[in-house]
Amino acid sequence: MLNEGDLIYLLDDKDRRFWLQLQKDMVRVQGLGVVDGNKIIGQEDGARIKLAGKDFFVFKATVIELMESLERGPQIITPKDAATIVFRLGLRAGDRVLEAGVGSGALTMALLNAVIPSGQVITVEVREEFAARARRNIERAGLAPYWDLRIGDVKTVDLGMTVDAVALDMPDPWLALDNIDRFLRPGGRISMYVPNTNQVADAVNGLKERGYLQVDALENIQRRIEVHPGGVRPSYENLSHTGYLVFARRPAKG
Amino acid sequence: MLNEGDLIYLLDDKDRRFWLQLQKDMVRVQGLGVVDGNKIIGQEDGARIKLAGKDFFVFKATVIELMESLERGPQIITPKDAATIVFRLGLRAGDRVLEAGVGSGALTMALLNAVIPSGQVITVEVREEFAARARRNIERAGLAPYWDLRIGDVKTVDLGMTVDAVALDMPDPWLALDNIDRFLRPGGRISMYVPNTNQVADAVNGLKERGYLQVDALENIQRRIEVHPGGVRPSYENLSHTGYLVFARRPAKG
Amino acid sequence: MLNEGDLIYLLDDKDRRFWLQLQKDMVRVQGLGVVDGNKIIGQEDGARIKLAGKDFFVFKATVIELMESLERGPQIITPKDAATIVFRLGLRAGDRVLEAGVGSGALTMALLNAVIPSGQVITVEVREEFAARARRNIERAGLAPYWDLRIGDVKTVDLGMTVDAVALDMPDPWLALDNIDRFLRPGGRISMYVPNTNQVADAVNGLKERGYLQVDALENIQRRIEVHPGGVRPSYENLSHTGYLVFARRPAKG
Amino acid sequence: MLNEGDLIYLLDDKDRRFWLQLQKDMVRVQGLGVVDGNKIIGQEDGARIKLAGKDFFVFKATVIELMESLERGPQIITPKDAATIVFRLGLRAGDRVLEAGVGSGALTMALLNAVIPSGQVITVEVREEFAARARRNIERAGLAPYWDLRIGDVKTVDLGMTVDAVALDMPDPWLALDNIDRFLRPGGRISMYVPNTNQVADAVNGLKERGYLQVDALENIQRRIEVHPGGVRPSYENLSHTGYLVFARRPAKG
C-alpha cells in the first residue's frame, strides 16, 4: 500500500514517468501540474488511477527506477555496471561499504539497496557540489538514514572504522590503495570503475603490487532487445562504452 | 575470522581454488588430499597459510565464488546474468522471491544472498534430480535456512503465500503467468531467462497481454580484460551467448 | 594526380568533408561556397591547398568515403556489413552480381568496386524513387558504366543472363529464391540482409529447403576506438544493431 | 566447370570439407583416402558426386573457404578482419599493395583476391619459415602469379616501387612508418592490425605525428546466429577478441 512520504512515480500510457513524494496535500509534479496526494495514499502499489483526466499507473519507486531517473552521461554509473559492482563485491544486508567518488549518487543508491537495513554506506567525495546533488537524490529516495556522506579525499581520509568492501569511481583509484589499506578488512573486496584501458592497466598493476588477489577486469555490454509486430531484434539505439570494472580481494596482512 | 562450519576455499599461486567446510578435524579436500582444519580455524579471512608444504591464501566463500565453483554450461545462469536479475528485480533484505527452474542452484544462491537474513526464496522445481543437486549446493553454502524448496510445477502449484518477485528459468515461462497471477503482489516484479529470440517474443507478448508494465528485454555481454606485460586487451577466450533476460512490473488488479 | 571529372572531397582541419566534381571552372561546393576547379586539377591526391583563405587537403573519393557520405539510417547497409557481404560472396574483378533492393546505392557501390572493370552489377528495384536516388549516387561516383539498373521485382524478373552472386536487401528475400534459381550459376553465392531474427530463421530455412549449402548467419558489431590524451577506450557513441547477414552457396541442380 | 589444376573441396553431409588439387589421376585426400580426379574434372561447380560410396558436393574454393581452411589462432587475421581491411583500404582490381608480416598468408589471400588480375601484392616478411608456409598456401590457391614475396624487414627494405596501399601485421607497425614514407603514394592508405590497446595508441599517435589523415581505429566483433528447431539465438561458441584495426590516409608531401 502506498503511504505518506513514499517516493512514487506515475506511469502514463507512453511509458513516461512522473515523480512525486506522497503528501496528504496538493503536490506539484514536474511535467504534469498539481496532483492531489490524498487520491494516491492508500492505493495499492501498481494501482490504476485517473488524475487530471488521464489514466496512470502509480508505482512505488525502487532502485532501478531511481537510477534510471538520474540524467545519463559518461560520468554516471549505469544500472548494468552498478548491478555487477554490487554482485561481485558480494554485498549483503549488514555490510559496511566505503564509496569514493559520489557522482550523482547512482551507485550510492545501488550500494545502499544491497546493505540496508543493518548495513551502511560511507561515501567520501572531494567536490562539495557533487556531494550536495547526491544528497538530494539519496534523501529523495529515503535512503539517507543508512548513509554517511563525508567531504574529503579518499587518498588521505581517516575513516575511523573498518569496511567490508570499497567501491571507487575516480580517475586514479590506485593512488588511494595505500590509504584504503587502513580500512578494508582482511578478505574484503574492492571495485574500481575507469573509462580507459590504460587506467585498467594501472588499476590491475596497483592491486597486484599490493598483494591483492583474484584481480579481474571486465567490461559489460548490454543490448536492449525489441519485440515489435515485424519481429525481434536488438535495439537500433545506443549500445556504447561506459567503463571498465576492476575487482580484487584483499588478503590478510603479514 | 574463520570459524568451524564456514565454507572456505584455499587459493594457490596459480589462482586455483580448493574447497572445504571447516571442521576441528582432518578434512579431505578434492585435488589436495587431507588437511588439518584446526590449522585454519581462527585465522583471519584472507590469511596466508602453509598446508602440505605449499602456500595458500584461505578465504571465506561468498556468492560470486560459489557460483563460479559450479560447473559451467548453457543451462547455468552465469554471474553476469544473475547480477542483473537480482538488481532489476529490485531485491533487498526482507523480500520474498519465487524461483522456478532451479538448475544447479546458481541463481538461487544469488537470490538468497540478496534477501537474507529477513527474506526468503521459495523454489519450485519439477525434476527431483535437479532439486537434489541444488539442495547440496545450497546446503554447502549455508543458505538452506532461508530456502523453501518444493517439488512441483510452477504452472499449477498453490504457493499459499504472496511474493515480492518471481524469477523464472524455464523454456516456456509465459505459460506460468496465469498461475503466478495468484501469488505475485501488486507492484511486484518478474524476470524470465530464455536462450532464444522467439522465446523473448513469446515472453514479452505474454506479459503485455496480461497487463504487465515496464516490459524490457535485454542481453548482457561481458568481456574479460587482460593486462599482461605486452599491453591491455580483451581476453582471447570465450565471450559467448548465454540467454536473454525479460523483466516486467505487475500492476494492481481491477 | 587529380583530373577533370574526378569526384573529390576537401578535408578541413576538423575532419569535415566538402564534396565536388572537378571541372575547369568555378564550382559550387555545399557548405563552402564557390571554388575554382583550376586550382585543384593537376594537384597530387592528398595535396594541401588554400581555398577561400582556409587550408584543406584534397583527396580523390573512394568507396569508403562515398558510403560514409550517404545519410545513415537503419535502411542503409553500413560499411561494416558491405565489407562482409563483398568478402563472403567471394567477389573479384570480372564477377557478375545481381543486387535486389537498391536502397540509396550504398551496397551497390561496394559491389561495383569489387567487380570492376571487367565485371558488372545488375540491380533490380521496384520503387522508382529509390532507383532514381541511387542512380544519382552511382553516377556521381563514376561507376554508372558498370551498372545495369532495372525497375522490377526480383521475385518475377527475367534477368536474361546468369550471375555469379546475388545480394538481397529486402524484407522477404526467401520469396525471391524460386525466381533466382533461374539466374544464379551452380556454385554461386547468395547473401541476404535482414534486421530481425525471425527473418533470419525464414532466410536460413528457405535456403536449406532449396538445397543451398554452407548456410551461415551472422551479425557484425563494430566499435570505434578512441585515443585521446587521457587514454584509450571504445567510443561513447553509438554501436547499435544494423542487420543480420545470411550467406549460402548454391549446388548444381539434378 | 571444374578443370584440371583447380583447388576444390568435397563437402560431406556433416559440412566437413576435404581438399584436393584436381588432376587426371588418383589423388590422395587427407581424411578420405584416394580419389579419382577424372570423376570430378568436367563436373559443374557444386555438383553432387559419389566417391568411395559416400555422397559429396564438390565446390571450387574461393577466398573465404581458403581462409577458413587455415588453422585458427590469435596470430591469424580472421575473415571478419580481412574483409574490413580490404574494404577500408579501398582496394580494387589493379591496385598494388604492400603487406608486411605474412603470418600464414590468410590476409595475403584476401588482398590478392581484391587486386587481381591486373594488380599485385608485395609481401615483406623477416622470418623465412613463415614465408615458406605462406608460400605453400598461396601456391595452393593458385595466386602465386600475382604475388611478390620478399624476405626482409619492412622497417628498412627498399621496395623499388610505389604502392597504393599498405597492410601491416606486426607488433610495432609505427616503427615502419618512416621507411614506408618512401613507397606509399600520395592519397594512399594504410592499415595496421594489433592485439593490444596500447599498440592502438602508439599506432594512432605515430600516424598523426607523421601527418596522416582520417585516422580511425576500430574493433570488429562477429557473432554467428544459429537457427535450430527450438528457435534463433547467437551461437554458444566463441566470440572472442582478435585484434584492433587502425586505418589512415596519406597526404601528399610538402
Mean pLDDT computed over A75-97: 95
Q: Determine the pLDDT at residue D230.
A: 83
- Return d(Cα B74, Cα D226) in angstroms, integer: 14
Burial class of residue D19 in the structure, from the number of CB atoms within 10 Å of its CB (0-12 exposed, 13-18 middle, 19+ buried): middle
Are the C-beta atoms of A113 and A142 separated by less than 8 Å? no
Place of cell 599490493: A210
Q: C-alpha B233: how far from its chain's center?
A: 29
Strand partners for D59: D9
Q: Averaged over D19-35, what is the pLDDT? A: 92
CB atoms within 10 A of CB A117: 14
Whether D204 sits inside 8 A of C227 (CB atoms) is yes
Mean pLDDT across chain A, nearest whole number?
A: 93
Cell of C59: 583527396
CA distance to A137, B78, B159, C194, per residue, from B242 (Å): 35, 8, 30, 23
CB atoms within 10 A of CB A12: 15
Cα angle D102, C220, B237; round to 5: 65
pTM, two decimals, is 0.93
Cis check for the bond before B117: say yes or no (omega within 30 of 0).
Answer: yes
**Cα separation of C146 and C120, whole Å?**
5
CB contact under 8 A, D87 and C86: yes
**How confident is the model at residue B41, as a pLDDT?**
96
CA A235 vs. chain centroid, Å, equals 24
Q: Cβ contact (<8 Å) for C57 and D213? A: yes
Q: Taking Cα atoms as reference points, which of D208, D167, D200, D189 lies closest to residue D77?
A: D167
- Reply yes or no on whether the pLDDT at C73 is more than 70: no
Mean pLDDT of B67-95: 88
Q: What is the pLDDT of residue A74?
A: 52
Give the confidence band of D55 by pLDDT, cuts at 50, 70, 90.
very high
ipTM of the complex as predicted: 0.95
Which residues in chain C touch residue D185, judged by CB atoms under 8 angstroms apart?
45
What is the number of residues in chain C? 254
B196 touches chain D (CB under 8 A): yes
Decide: D95 and D164 in contact? Cβ < 8 Å.
yes
Across the range A192-217, mean pLDDT stands at 96
CB contact under 8 A, D238 and B237: yes
Could you report the per-residue pLDDT of D232-246, keeping only the tens digit for each? 988 887 668 899 999
Average pLDDT over residues B109-114: 97
DSSP single-letter state for residue A160? -
D85-128 pLDDT, tens per residue?
999 999 999 999 999 999 889 999 999 999 999 999 999 999 99
Shortest distance, CA A197 to any CA of chain D (angstroms): 7
Residue B110 neighbours by CB distance under 10 Å:
25
First CA to last CA across chain A, in angstroms? 53
Cβ contact D233–B196 (<8 Å)? yes
B120 forms beta bridges with B96
- Higher pLDDT: B52 or D35? It is D35
Average pLDDT over residues A57-84: 87
CB contact under 8 A, A221 and B223: yes
Q: Chains with 3 or more CB pairs closer than 8 angstroms to D?
A: A, B, C
- What is residue B240's predicted lDDT score, i.e. its pLDDT? 81
Mean pLDDT calculated for residue range B134-161: 95
Q: Which grid cell sits at D215?
A: 585516422
Is a pLDDT exceeding 70 seen at residue B190? yes
Question: Among C83, C94, C226, whose Cβ lies nearest the Cβ of D83?
Answer: C83
Dump pLDDT digits (tens) for A148-177. 999 999 999 999 999 999 999 999 999 999
Chain C residue with the nearest C-alpha to that of A225:
C241
Helix (H/G/I), strand (E/B), else coil: A48: strand
Beta-carbon count within 10 A of A75 CB: 14
Upper half-sphere CA count for residue A247 (Cβ side, 13 Å): 21
* D74 has pLDDT over 60: no
Any chain D CB within 8 A of the CB of B224?
no
Distant-in-sequence, close-in-space partners of D30: CB < 8 Å, separation ≥ 6 = D18, D19
pLDDT at D237: 76
**Can you give the pLDDT at residue C136?**
92
Q: Which of B196, B231, B235 sits opposite D199 (nearest CB)?
A: B231
Which backbone phi and psi does B74 adopt, to 5 degrees? Answer: -55, -25
**What does DSSP assign to residue C71?**
P
**What sections of B141-196 are H helices per DSSP?**
177-180
Beta bridge partners of D19: D9
Q: Identify the chains in contact with B, defined as 3+ C-beta pairs within 8 A.
A: A, C, D
Within an 8 Å CB–CB cutoff, is residue B201 touching chain C? Answer: yes
pLDDT at A196 (0 to 100): 94
Tell me: pLDDT of A239 over 80. Answer: no
Q: What's the mean pLDDT in D188-195?
A: 97
* 8-state DSSP, D39: G
* Cell (9 digits) for D67: 581462409
How does pLDDT run across C132-175, given as a tens digit for each residue?
A: 999 999 999 999 999 999 999 999 999 999 999 999 999 999 99
* Per-residue pLDDT, B74: 52
pLDDT bracket for residue B69 (50, 70, 90):
confident
Beta partners for residue D221, in sequence order: C221
Q: Is residue C222 within 8 angstroms of chain A, CB to CB?
A: no
Q: What is the mean pLDDT of residues B85-107?
A: 96
